[in-house]
Amino acid sequence: MGLARCETCGAPRGLKRNYTHVHNLVASVNSSILCGAPTCIGPACIWLTDEEEQQYLDGERSFHYSNRAVQVQVI
């Protein structure tokens, strides 16, 4: 499950998982997803774990993020 953060806020820290790989959202949804940092309203990128990054490298382009209620496609 990826996390939404803008490039300025960077990778989420202090969580159970390490989110070290950043990907842009598909342009059509990019303006709709905002950074998940408490005080930021910038447009988000999706940060993936090492496991999710391997899925991405294997061709997966659709990932859930945050509470699994929304699924996004990355490029």
Please provide residue 16's backbone torsions phi and psi, each rounded to the nearest 5 degrees: -65, -30
Q: What is the mean pLDDT of residues 47-51?
A: 91
Does the structure show a pLDDT above 90 at 70?
A: no
Domain boundaries, given as residue ranges, for the chain: 3-73
Token digits of residue 7: 């490039």
The pLDDT > 70 percentage for the chain reads 77
What does the longest C-alpha to C-alpha distance in the chain come to? 34
List CB contacts of 50: < 8 A, sequence separation 6 or more. Answer: 18, 20, 21
Q: pTM for the full model? A: 0.76
Q: How far is CA 58 from the centre of its chain?
A: 17
Element (H, E) at 69: none
Does the structure show a pLDDT above 70 at 18?
A: yes
